[in-house]
């Protein structure tokens, strides 16, 4: 605004800007700078409204300076100057207007005429439609007339109105908040007093109002100390209550322990019996499963081994005859009749059939551990494929990679790679995968369940 007024070379606007700057400096407690600003104002160039603002602000400046000096000589002088400028302001105001009534009320406070509530402030509250900021100022000013012990409630109510309207108008004015906090402190409400005075200090620091900070700083530590004392008393009282409750609780717990001790022992024994029964049931299921596996595979391997012994016996007699007849070329032909691949395929085929006879749901449960696109199903000409056969051997209790490799005619590293690749695609964590495989039930155990 000042830069624009300088460009326009408009003296009235330049002086108006200086008044507003003086208000900011005065609110911040920068008295020298504020009076320097006043001295640069040409009053003759001001219109009537600006003159009212100028004289009212200068009256406030002398009043604030009187409070700051707190000296019998300078305070008396500045109060006199403040009243003189208030008289000039009142002379320029339209009689019975808001500004005229407000300045009259302010003058009553400056001269100490606060024995009775200001009729000027009361009339403003009754007859005028006020903004939130105006209501805050009038209510706070009027509270100065309610200083008697019997008027504490009326004073508190007016200060509360002032605080509420300062908040509504977003005004960082600390006076109402500070006065309300100090009033509460004087009447023993230390907790709420600290809240209001601390908020007043925050507002003063936010705006940078030095005079307000000095006044608040003289009171805030005292209130804070009283708050700490109060908190300490409450803490001690709480500790007494806590100790009493603790002793009673211990007594109740001791009685409860004696009453329920036998019941707990009985429940503990029942739980042990239940756990033992579950263990026995699990062991029994395992024994049934192991018996089933042994019955099937012992018979199977006896049959296979017997077949291989007969084949070896037949081959031996045939070779003996060829050797006796010196038909050495026919010996090679007899040996070539043995098809190792066919025998191994037959071995796997028989193993697969017997395994699925014992674990008919193995393939389905195994694939439930994978996403649909990662599931492993045997082809039409297969019973089990290599991937399934590795974990079928694991379900049979053969977990050693070297043993599995020897059975399937692979290297140990190949078996390891197979396992890791399959586990990596599973939806089950790797450390849980083998447990899920071992949990697949045999047909007799499934039927029993």
- Give the span between the Cα atoms of 103 and 96, in whole angstroms: 11
Q: Taking residues 157-178, what's their average pLDDT?
A: 87
3-state helix, strand, coil in the chain (%, to 5): 80, 0, 20
pLDDT at 308: 58
pLDDT at 296: 55
Q: Taking residues 101-128, what's their average pLDDT?
A: 89
What single DSSP character describes residue 147?
-
pLDDT at 269: 76
- Give the span between the Cα atoms of 301 and 304, in whole angstroms: 5
CA dihedral for 312, 316, 318, 319, sign (positive or negative):
positive
Which of residues 209 and 17 earns the better pLDDT score?
17
| In contact, 336 and 415? CB cutoff 8 Å | no
| Lowest-confidence region among 78-82, 123-127, 163-167, 347-351 | 347-351
The β-bridge partners of 370 are: 426
The distance in angstroms from the start CA to the end CA of the chain is 91
Q: DSSP 3-state assignment of 20?
A: helix
* C-alpha 305: how far from chain center: 70
Range with top average pLDDT, 50-64, 276-290, 356-370, 428-442:
50-64
Measuring CA to CA, how many Å separate 384 from each of 362, 379, 423? 10, 8, 18
The β-bridge partners of 426 are: 370
Picking from 173, 196, 167, 199, the residue whose alpha carbon sits closest to that of residue 183 is 196
pLDDT at 445: 46
- Give the span between the Cα atoms of 296 and 360, in whole angstroms: 14
Which strand (E) or helix (H) includes residue 230? helix 210-324
- Give the span between the Cα atoms of 440 and 424, in whole angstroms: 20
> How many CB atoms neighbour CB 93 within 10 A?
20
Measuring CA to CA, how many Å separate 266 from each of 270, 274, 277? 6, 12, 17
Where do we find the tokens 């590293």? 413
Tens-place pLDDT, residues 17-58: 999 999 989 888 888 999 999 898 888 888 899 999 999 999
pLDDT at 290: 58
pLDDT at 446: 45
Q: Taking residues 361-383, what's their average pLDDT?
A: 86
| In contact, 114 and 147? CB cutoff 8 Å | yes
Q: Taking residues 339-348, what's their average pLDDT?
A: 72
pLDDT at 299: 53
The answer on pLDDT for 113 being more than 50 is yes
What single DSSP character describes residue 94?
P
- Give the span between the Cα atoms of 86 and 36, in whole angstroms: 20
225 burial level (CB within 10 Å; 0-12, 13-18, 19+): exposed
Q: What is the largest CA-CA distance in the chain?
A: 155
Percent of the chain with pLDDT over 90: 16
Q: Taking residues 257-284, what's their average pLDDT?
A: 76
Picking from 380, 398, 404, the residue whose alpha carbon sits closest to that of residue 437 is 398
Which strand (E) or helix (H) includes residue 107? helix 98-111
- Give the span between the Cα atoms of 56 and 106, in whole angstroms: 10
> How many CB atoms neighbour CB 381 within 10 A?
5
pLDDT grade for 193, boundaries at 50, 70 and 90: confident
446's tokens = 């499934």
Picking from 124, 125, 133, the residue whose alpha carbon sits closest to that of residue 168 is 133
161-178 as b/e: b if 16+ CB within 10 A: bbbebbeeeebbbbbbbb
Picking from 318, 314, 353, 313, the residue whose alpha carbon sits closest to that of residue 333 is 318
Q: What angle do CA 108, 111, 115 make, to 5 degrees?
A: 60
């Amino acid at each position: 605004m000042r830069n624009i007024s300088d460009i326009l070379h408009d003296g009235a606007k330049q002086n108006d800007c200086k008044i507003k700057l003086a208000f900011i400096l005065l609110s911040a407690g920068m008295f020298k700078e504020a009076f320097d600003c006043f001295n640069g104002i040409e009053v003759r160039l001001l219109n009537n409204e600006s003159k009212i603002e100028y004289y009212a602000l200068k009256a406030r400046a002398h009043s604030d300076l009187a409070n700051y000096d707190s000296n019998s000589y300078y305070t008396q002088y500045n109060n006199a100057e403040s009243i003189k400028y208030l008289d000039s302001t009142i002379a320029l105001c339209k009689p019975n207007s808001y500004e005229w009534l407000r300045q009259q009320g302010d003058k009553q406070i400056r001269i100490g005429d606060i024995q009775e509530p200001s009729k000027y402030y009361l009339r403003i509250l009754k007859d005028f439609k006020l903004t939130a900021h105006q209501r805050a100022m009038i209510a706070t000013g009027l509270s100065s007339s309610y200083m008697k012990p019997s008027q504490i409630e009326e004073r508190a109510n007016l200060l509360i109105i002032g605080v509420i309207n300062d908040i509504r108008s977003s005004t960082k004015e600390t006076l109402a908040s500070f006065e309300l906090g100090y009033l509460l402190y004087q009447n023993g409400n230390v907790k709420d007093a600290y809240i209001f005075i601390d908020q007043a200090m925050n507002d003063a620091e936010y705006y940078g109002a030095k005079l307000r900070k000095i006044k608040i700083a003289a009171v805030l530590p005292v209130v804070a100390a009283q708050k700490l004392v109060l908190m300490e008393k409450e803490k001690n009282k709480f500790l007494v209550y806590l100790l009493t409750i603790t002793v009673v609780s211990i007594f109740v717990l001791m009685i409860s322990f004696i009453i329920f001790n036998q019941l707990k022992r009985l429940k503990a024994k029942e739980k042990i019996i239940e756990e033992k029964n579950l263990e026995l049931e699990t062991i029994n299921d395992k024994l049934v499963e192991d018996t089933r596996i042994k019955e099937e595979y012992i018979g199977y391997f006896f049959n296979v081994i017997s077949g291989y012994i007969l084949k070896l016996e037949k081959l031996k007699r045939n070779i003996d005859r060829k050797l006796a007849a010196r038909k050495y070329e026919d010996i090679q032909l007899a040996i070539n009749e043995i098809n190792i691949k066919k025998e191994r395929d037959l071995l796997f085929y028989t193993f697969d059939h017997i395994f699925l006879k014992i674990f008919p749901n193995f393939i389905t449960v195994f694939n439930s551990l994978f996403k649909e696109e990662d599931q492993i199903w045997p082809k039409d000409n297969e019973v089990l494929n290599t991937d399934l056969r590795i974990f079928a051997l694991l379900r049979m209790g053969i977990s050693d990679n070297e043993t599995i490799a020897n059975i399937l005619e692979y290297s140990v590293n190949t078996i390891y790679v197979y396992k890791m690749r399959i586990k990596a695609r599973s939806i089950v964590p790797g450390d849980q995968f083998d447990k899920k495989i071992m949990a697949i039930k045999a047909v007799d155990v499934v039927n029993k369940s």
